[in-house]
Amino acid sequence: MPPHLSRRHFNSWLASCAVAGGALPSAAALASTDKIPMVRLVTGVPAGSMVDNITRQVAEVIKSDYAVNTMVENKTGAGGIMALGYFKTLPRDGSNLYVGVSSPLTVYPVTHKKLPYDADKDLVPVGSLGSFDLALAVGPMVPASVTDLKGYFDWCRKNPTSASFGSPGAGSMLHFVGSMSARAAGTEIAHIAYRGPGPAVLDLQGGVLSAAVVPLVDVAEFAAQGKVRILGTTGEERSRFVPNVPTFKEQGFGEFAKSVWIAVFALAGTPDATVEKLRSNLKSALATPDVKASMGRQLQKAEWGSAEALTRSIAQERASWAKAVQALNFTPES
């Protein structure tokens, strides 16, 4: 014991030495204390769908540097509207994120008179994860002789009582693609909104619907099994998942048939440093071969897009949809 210390002070000195030395937590442990203990990821699609699968991959990725634990909350209904209405009520501290697609931010603001959220004021873009194509698929209700979009729309014209198609959300891009392509072909098709692509594809296989417009990945497996037939895909080029299927554009219906981006958003008011940390985490993760390959099994293109680029895309797409909606008098009931 040092001569100038009493036993009581010596014990205190020993304790302080222990804290300063071997009892210190490791660097990794210290870093983990900077993580958010629990992060909730909200998405507007049912569990098991393509967008849900991507959301769950994001939930795992952000554990590397941003979150200790994560949970995915599926708030289905109204094509994502209910999810965003719920999301805006949550704490704005970085513990809540939204993973979703373009329709609620680009299409709904011009197709719905009233929304329970403000797409510009309630959300902060973190960045985009990539894009995917939609598909128009037909089921056993439609004769095997129908092999392309024109043939399907001709069949609809001759069979108006059977001509209905489903999509995950009234007034969504998927609804728009189906209805506007039919109008371009000179016919009208009744639209049925579903709480996600799964139920629509199930009814398609069962002959309840003549067609469905859903994310390609959500229907490709059933097409491979011969349960449904994919007649067209959106996007500028053919999908690598179904390279033998021509695009809407190739078939003369490309005006409204675009790829769909998927992105991550925080709540407005989330601290800037927190948002930047999340961006860095996701951008680095998507650059790794494993994560890129994993997301690439779901997305046509898995690549990080900056918040600035995402903001520009939202503004440009919304302006484009607004013109189309006005010119064609499209509504969620169309």
Query: Quick one: DSSP state of residue 25?
Result: P
- Check whether residue 265 and residue 125 sit in a common domain: yes
Domain boundary among 183, 216, 233: 233
- Check whether residue 265 and residue 320 sit in a common domain: yes
What mean pLDDT is predicted for residues 125-130?
Answer: 97
22 falls within a domain: no
> In the predicted model, is pLDDT for residue 3 greater than 80?
no
Domain boundary among 181, 216, 233: 233
Torsion angles phi and psi, residue 164, rounded to 5 = -135, 150
- Check whether residue 40 and residue 86 sit in a common domain: yes
- Check whether residue 214 and residue 140 sit in a common domain: yes
Mean pLDDT of the chain: 88
Torsion angles phi and psi, residue 93, rounded to 5 = -120, 10
Alpha carbon distance 181, 99 (integer Å) = 28
Q: What is the CATH number of the domain that holds 271?
A: 3.40.190.150
Residue-level pLDDT at 33: 56
Question: Contact 298/132 with Cβ under 8 angstroms?
Answer: yes
Nearest to 156 by CA among 211, 223, 228: 211
Record the pTM: 0.83
3-state helix, strand, coil in the chain (%, to 5): 40, 20, 40
- Check whether residue 108 and residue 159 sit in a common domain: no
Question: Contact 231/148 with Cβ under 8 angstroms?
Answer: yes
135-159 pLDDT, tens digit per residue, is 999 999 999 999 999 999 999 999 9
Question: Contact 156/182 with Cβ under 8 angstroms?
Answer: yes
200 falls within a domain: yes
Torsion angles phi and psi, residue 329, rounded to 5 = 55, 45
Record the tokens describing residue 315, joined without a space: 């503004």
81 falls within a domain: yes
Alpha carbon distance 250, 320 (integer Å) = 21
Q: What percent of the chain has pLDDT over 90?
A: 74
In the chain, the number of structural domains is: 2
Alpha carbon distance 3, 8 (integer Å) = 13
- Check whether residue 40 and residue 78 sit in a common domain: yes
- Check whether residue 216 and residue 172 sit in a common domain: yes
45-62 pLDDT, tens digit per residue, is 999 999 999 999 999 999
> In the predicted model, is pLDDT for residue 23 greater than 90?
no
The widest CA-to-CA distance across the chain, in whole angstroms, is 104
Alpha carbon distance 156, 239 (integer Å) = 26
Alpha carbon distance 165, 163 (integer Å) = 7
279-296 pLDDT, tens digit per residue, is 999 999 999 999 999 999
Q: Are strands 67-74 and 229-233 parallel, antiparallel or unpaired?
A: unpaired
Look up the domain containing 216 and give its range. Answer: 134-233
> In the predicted model, is pLDDT for residue 6 greater than 70?
no
What mean pLDDT is predicted for residues 228-232?
Answer: 98
- Check whether residue 150 and residue 225 sit in a common domain: yes
> In the predicted model, is pLDDT for residue 26 greater than 70?
no
Q: Are strands 164-167 and 190-193 parallel, antiparallel or unpaired?
A: parallel
333 falls within a domain: no
Alpha carbon distance 91, 197 (integer Å) = 30
What mean pLDDT is predicted for residues 304-308?
Answer: 96
- Check whether residue 123 and residue 177 sit in a common domain: no
Residue-level pLDDT at 195: 85
